[in-house]
Amino acid sequence: FLLFLLLQPHAYALKGDSGCGPILCVNATLNERGDQVTYEMTVLRKPMGWVAMFLPSKFQSSGFGRRMKGTHMVIMWPNEDGSTTISQRYGHGHIEPQPVTNPPRIATVNDPKITSWHPPNATVLSFSIPANKTLLASAEPTERLIWAYSMTRPLKEPDSPLKAHYMAGFFRVDVTKDLPDQPATIDPPSAPSAPPHEADIHLHDDEQKPDEPVDFQTIVADGPYKGREKIILTHAILLSAGFLVLLPAGSLIARWGRTITPNWFKAHWVCNMMLAAPAITFGALLGPIAVYDHQAAHLVDAHQICGILLVLMYYLQVGLGR
């Protein structure tokens, strides 16, 4: 009997994972039956609008989706009357996600458990959802979560229109881990960098040293550009300059330059080949690099497909023109 009592706490020890970033802390806890996960989201920034987590189908084994398009999500926000709204939606593309009446996994609102590690004045929201048993039974049960945060609060109704997110990012969580008995305290919101339990939570796998704590990575809507944002910005600038400035300038030189100078073709060739070709080539290469860096899929939306076709038509035109 004494041996049973000694083993009892370990037999019923909760499993889950947790971590913090500069905007959001998340605790994910698997219940004793292993069929339900509770996600507690602590938003460390004000004002609080809405916060979302993106969910896969219960039959998917790869964790949460890699992008908003084609992904189910749970969106929550507090209301002025003290209630909490939960809205399950589906992302159809680069438009506002639409409410769904029959999601593959139904989430329910929980009363969050405020503990000593929660910073003062933080907003804590919690929901429970059936566990992804396909993922938990796999050899790699780490789930990839996408989150988004907005500073604009919607109306109380679950189908209320949403303003675009202000920040977004993703991280990984493994709910099969044993949770520590006592969570540690964290710093106040001015420096919310220490989590109750450091987890393997990150945006990219590169540039992380084994001895360094791994943290959330955030895509910020404004402020200084870093990493992938610089790649995307350079991609946009180079291709815009190539297709909207240099190629039209080359066409105008061919059309009107011949009426001014017999050397018009040389200027036309320099504009289309020496200037436009490097800008378009390098800018086009940065597109797949940005997609790979974000661990997203290639050639899945109109922007990517039309971009490839446009670049191919440019090379075809150059080849035929020569």
Do residues 103 and 72 lie in contact, with contact meaning Cβ atoms separated by under 8 Å?
A: yes
**86 and 194 part of one domain:** yes
**192 and 255 part of one domain:** no
Residue 246 lies in a domain: yes
Q: What is the predicted pLDDT for the residue at 4?
A: 43
Q: What is the predicted pLDDT for the residue at 204?
A: 32
**237 and 216 part of one domain:** no
**244 and 304 part of one domain:** yes
**270 and 187 part of one domain:** no
**77 and 38 part of one domain:** yes
CA distances from 78 to 116, 124, 144, 167, 306 (A): 21, 9, 25, 18, 41
What mean pLDDT do residues 23-48 have?
88
Q: How many residues belong to the chain?
A: 322
Last residue of a domain, one of 220, 237, 258: 220
Question: Please, which residues bridge with residue 235 across strands?
Answer: none
280: closest CA among 227, 230, 228, 237? 237
What DSSP state is assigned to residue 120? T
Q: What is the predicted pLDDT for the residue at 303?
A: 86
What mean pLDDT do residues 239-257 have?
94
Residue 180 lies in a domain: yes
**71 and 28 part of one domain:** yes
**208 and 245 part of one domain:** no
Question: Please, which residues bridge with residue 20 across strands?
Answer: 25
Can you give the CATH number for the domain in which 215 is found? 2.60.40
How far is Cα of residue 254 from the mean position of the Cα atoms in its chain? 45
Please spell the DSSP secondary structure of 273-319, one letter per residue: IIIHHHHHHHHHHHHHHHHHHTT--SS-SHHHHHHHHHHHHHHHHHH
Do residues 52 and 147 lie in contact, with contact meaning Cβ atoms separated by under 8 Å?
A: yes
Q: What SS3 class is residue 23?
A: coil
Q: Kindly state the tokens that stand for 141.
A: 């049960």
Average model confidence (pLDDT) for the chain?
77
Residue 165 lies in a domain: yes
Residue 5 lies in a domain: no
Give the predicted TM-score (pTM) of the model. 0.56
Q: What is the predicted pLDDT for the residue at 224?
A: 59
Q: In the chain, count of helices (H) and strands (E)?
A: 7, 12
Last residue of a domain, one of 220, 252, 267: 220
Say whether pLDDT at 106 is over 70: yes
Q: What is the predicted pLDDT for the residue at 148?
A: 87
Do residues 159 and 115 lie in contact, with contact meaning Cβ atoms separated by under 8 Å?
A: no
Last residue of a domain, one of 162, 197, 220: 220
Instruction: Kindly tell me the burial class for residue 320, based on how many C-beta atoms sit within 10 Å of its own C-beta (0-12, 13-18, 19 or more).
Output: exposed
Torsion of CA 289, 295, 300, 305, to 10 degrees: 0
**117 and 37 part of one domain:** yes
Distance CA 275, CA 279 (A): 7
Look up residue 169 and give its amino acid: G
Say whether pLDDT at 275 is over 70: yes
Distance CA 147, CA 221 (A): 14
What mean pLDDT do residues 82-96 have?
87
Residue 3 lies in a domain: no
Containing domain of residue 15, as a range? 11-220
**43 and 90 part of one domain:** yes
Query: Which residues lie closer than 8 Å to 55 by C-beta, 6 or more apart?
Result: 64, 65, 71, 72, 73, 74, 103, 104, 105, 107, 129
**208 and 236 part of one domain:** no
Tell me the pLDDT band of 196, cut-offs 50, 70 and 90: very low
**Domains of the chain: total:** 2
Say whether pLDDT at 242 is over 80: yes
Residue 1 lies in a domain: no
Q: Kindly state the tokens that stand for 25.
A: 């802390």
Residue 6 lies in a domain: no
**What is the strand order of the sheet 123-130 is part of?**
15-20, 24-30, 36-43, 123-130, 108-110
- Give the number of other CB atoms < 10 A from CB of residue 174: 20
What mean pLDDT do residues 292-304 have?
73
Tell me the pLDDT band of 112, cut-offs 50, 70 and 90: confident
Tell me the pLDDT band of 13, cut-offs 50, 70 and 90: low
Do residues 191 and 20 lie in contact, with contact meaning Cβ atoms separated by under 8 Å?
A: no
Q: What is the predicted pLDDT for the residue at 315?
A: 92
Residue 2 lies in a domain: no
**147 and 284 part of one domain:** no
Query: What is the greatest pairwise CA distance in the chain?
Result: 103
pLDDT, tens digit, 9 for 90 and up, residues 143-188 = 777 888 898 999 999 999 998 888 877 777 888 888 765 444 444 4
